[in-house]
Chain A
Amino acid sequence: MLQLLVGTNIPFMKYRRIAYLFSSACLAATVIWLVMHKGPRMSVDFTGGTLLQVELSQAQPVDGIRHALDQGGFRGAEIQTVGETGRELLLRLGLDQSANAFPRAQQSIQAAYPGTSVTLRRSESVGPKVGSELAQRAVWAVLLSLLGILVYVGIRYEFKFALGAVVALFHDVVIVLGILCFAGREISLTTVAALLTLAGYSINDTIVVFDRIRERGKQLSKETHERAFDIALNETLSRTIITSFTVFLTSLSLYFFGGEVINDFALAMVAGVAFGTYSSIYVASALALEVWTWAERRRKPVRARAA
Chain B
Amino acid sequence: MNRTDLWKLLAVLTATIASVIYLYPSWEFYRLDPKARFEARKDTPIGKLRERAIPLGLDLQGGLHLVLEVDKTGLSQAEGERAVDRAITVIRGRIDEFGVAEPLIQKEGQDRIVVQLPGITDAQRAKDLIGKTAQLEFNLVRTPEEGGQLFERLDAALASRVATGQVKIDTALAHRPFTAHFIDAGGAAGFVMNADVPEMERLVASVDSIVPADTKLAWGPETAGPGGRTGKWLYALKREPELTGESVASASPNISQSNPGSWEVSLRLTPRAAMTFTRVTGANVGRQLAIVLDNVVNSAPSIHERIPSGTASISGRFNAETAKDLAVVLEAGALPAPVHVIEERLVGPSLGSDSIKAGWKAAWVGTLAVIIFMLIYYQLSGALAIAALVLNVFYLLACLAGVGATLTLPGIAGIVLTIGMSVDANVLILERIREELRNGRTIRTAIQMGYDRAFRTILDAHVTTLISAAFLFQFGTGPIRGFAVTLSLGLIANMFTAVLFTRMVYDLIQHKRTLSRLSI
Determine the chain A residues whose CB is within 8 A of the CB of B82 once the complex forms: none
Q: Once the chains bind, are A145 and B413 in contact (CB under 8 Å)?
A: no
Q: Is the CB of A129 within 8 A of B342?
A: yes
**B214 on the interface (CB 8 Å rule)?**
no
Extra contacts besides A203-B461, A204-B465 (18): CB < 8 Å: A102-B123, A121-B348, A122-B348, A142-B471, A149-B468, A153-B464, A189-B479, A204-B464, A207-B460, A235-B435, A239-B431, A242-B377, A243-B424, A246-B427, A249-B366, A250-B369, A259-B409, A262-B359
Contact A258:B359 (CB < 8 A) given known A137-B475, A203-B464, A251-B417: yes
Which residues A251-265 have CB closer than 8 A to chain B?
Answer: 251-254, 256-259, 261-262, 265
Asked whether B424 lies within 8 Å of A247 as measured between CB atoms, the reply is yes
Residues of A in contact with B (beta carbons under 8 Å apart): 1-3, 6, 53, 55, 100, 102-103, 119-127, 129-130, 134, 137-138, 140-142, 144-145, 148-149, 152-153, 156, 189-190, 192-193, 196-197, 199-201, 203-204, 207-208, 211, 215, 235, 238-239, 242-243, 245-254, 256-259, 261-262, 265-266, 269
Asked if residues B420 and A251 are in contact (CB atoms below 8 Å), the reply is yes
**Do A130 and B345 form a contact, CB below 8 Å, given A246-B424, A253-B369, A257-B361?**
no
Known: A100-B124, A215-B453, A258-B359. A266 touches B413 (CB 8 A): yes
A130-B417 in contact (CB<8A):
no
12 CB-based A-B contacts, threshold 8 Å: A100-B124, A121-B348, A122-B351, A124-B346, A141-B474, A145-B471, A200-B464, A215-B453, A253-B365, A254-B416, A257-B361, A258-B362
On chain B, the residues within 8 Å of A145 by CB distance are 467-468, 470-472
The minimal Cβ–Cβ distance linking A235 to chain B, given in whole angstroms, is: 8
The reply to whether A1 and B423 form a contact with Cβ atoms under 8 Å apart is: no
Cross-chain contact B468 with A196 (CB below 8 angstroms): yes
Q: A144-B471, A247-B421 are in contact. Are A125 and B369 (CB under 8 A)?
A: no
Contact B343 A127 (CB under 8 A): yes
Query: With contacts A124-B344, A261-B351 known, is A211 near B457, CB below 8 A?
Result: yes
**B359 adjacent to A125 (CB under 8 Å):** no
Nearest opposing residue in chain B for A249, CB measure? B369
From A102, which residue of chain B is reached at the shortest CB distance? B123
Closest 3 pairs (CB-CB, A-B): A259-B358, A200-B468, A250-B420
* In the complex, residue of chain A having the shortest beta-carbon distance to the beta carbon of B429: A239
Instruction: Note all chain A residues with C-beta closer than 8 A to B121.
Output: 120
Q: Which of B351, B457, B483 contacts A53 (CB 8 A)?
A: B351
Question: Shortest CB–CB separation between residue A150 and chain B, in angstroms?
Answer: 10
Least CB distance, B428 to chain A, in whole angstroms: 6
Bound: A257/B465 CA distance, A: 25
Q: How far is the CB of A121 from chain B (nearest CB, A)?
A: 4
Residues in chain B near residue A103, CB distance under 8 A: 124
Taking a contact as CB atoms under 8 Å apart, the answer to whether A269 and B343 are in contact is: no
Q: Does B15 contact A (CB under 8 A)?
A: no
Contact of A250 among B342, B417, B480 (CB under 8 A): B417
Query: What chain B residues lie within 8 Å of A250 (beta carbons)?
Result: 366-367, 369-370, 416-417, 419-420
Q: Does B56 contact A (CB under 8 A)?
A: no
B59 interfacial contact with A, CB 8 Å: yes
**Set of chain A residues within 8 Å of B412, measured between Cβ atoms:** 258
Question: Of residues 288 to 345 in B, which have CB atoms within 8 Å of A's CB atoms?
Answer: 340-345
Nearest Cβ distance between residue A102 and chain B, in whole angstroms?
7
* B468 with A190: CB separation less than 8 A: no
B410 near A200 (CB under 8 angstroms)?
no
- B492 located at the interface, meaning its Cβ lies under 8 Å from any Cβ of chain A in the complex: no
State whether A138 and B358 are in contact (beta carbons under 8 Å apart), knowing that A3-B434, A124-B345 are contacts in the complex.
no
* B429-442 interface bits toward A, Cβ cutoff 8 Å, 1 = contact, 0 = none: 00110110010000
Cβ-defined contact, B476 with A189, below 8 A: yes
On chain A, the residues within 8 Å of B365 by CB distance are 253, 256-257
Report the Cα distance A247→B373, complex, angstroms: 12
Contact of A269 among B359, B417, B464, B470 (CB under 8 A): B417
Total chain B interface residues with beta-carbon distance under 8 A = 76
Please give me the residue from chain B that is nearest to A243 by CB atom. Answer: B424
- Residue ranges of B at the interface with A (Cβ–Cβ < 8 Å): 59, 67, 121, 123-124, 340-348, 350-351, 354-355, 357-359, 361-363, 365-367, 369-370, 373-374, 376-377, 409-410, 412-413, 416-417, 419-421, 423-424, 427-428, 431-432, 434-435, 438, 453, 456-457, 460-461, 463-472, 474-477, 479-480, 483-484, 487, 520
Query: What residue in chain B is nearest A125 (Cβ atoms)?
Result: B344
Find out whether the CB atom of A189 lies under 8 angstroms from the CB atom of B477: yes
* Contacting residues, chain B, for A124 (C-beta < 8 A): 344-346
Q: Which residues of B sit under 8 angstroms from A196, Cβ to Cβ?
A: 468-469, 471-472, 475
B366 touches A253 (CB 8 A): yes
List A contacts of B370 (CB < 8 A): 246, 249-250
Say whether, besides A120-B348, A208-B457, A259 and B464 are in contact (CB < 8 Å).
Answer: no
Residue of A nearest to B345 (CB): A124
Bound Cα distance A190, B477 (Å) = 10
Query: With A152-B464, A204-B464, A208-B428 in contact, do A193 and B471 touch (Cβ < 8 Å)?
Result: no
Contacts of A204 in B (CB 8 A): 424, 461, 464-465
Q: Give the residues in chain B near A53, CB-CB below 8 Å.
A: 351
Interfacial chain A residues near B124, Cβ < 8 Å: 100, 103
- Alpha-carbon distance A100/B122, docked complex (angstroms): 11
In the complex where A152-B464, A253-B369, A261-B409 touch, is A122 in contact with B346 (Cβ < 8 A)? yes
Find chain B residues with CB under 8 A from A126 CB.
342-344
Do A123 and B416 form a contact, CB below 8 Å, given A144-B471, A149-B467?
A: no
Check B457–A130 contact: CB distance below 8 A: no
Question: What are the residues of chain B within 8 A of A239 when measuring CB–CB?
Answer: 427-428, 431-432
Contact A130 B464 (CB under 8 A): no
- Chain B residues with CB under 8 Å of A245's CB are 373
Q: Which of B123, B373, B453, B461 contacts A207 (CB 8 A)?
A: B461
If the complex has contacts A123-B123, A246-B423, are A141 and B431 also in contact, measured as CB distance less than 8 A? no
Contact indicator B467/A200 (Cβ below 8 Å): yes
A196 to chain B, nearest CB (A): 5
Distance between A198 CB and nearest chain B CB, rounded to angstroms: 8
A243 & B427 in contact (Cβ 8 Å cutoff) = yes
Chain A residues, Cβ within 8 Å of B59: 261
Q: Are A200 and B427 in contact (CB under 8 A)?
A: no
User: Considering the chains assembled together, what is the distance between the CA atoms of A173 and B343 in angstroms?
Assistant: 28
Looking at the complex, which one of B355, B369, B374, B477 makes contact with A261 (CB distance below 8 Å)?
A: B355
B311 to chain A, nearest CB (A): 35
The answer to whether A242 and B362 touch (CB under 8 A), given A126-B343, A250-B420, is no
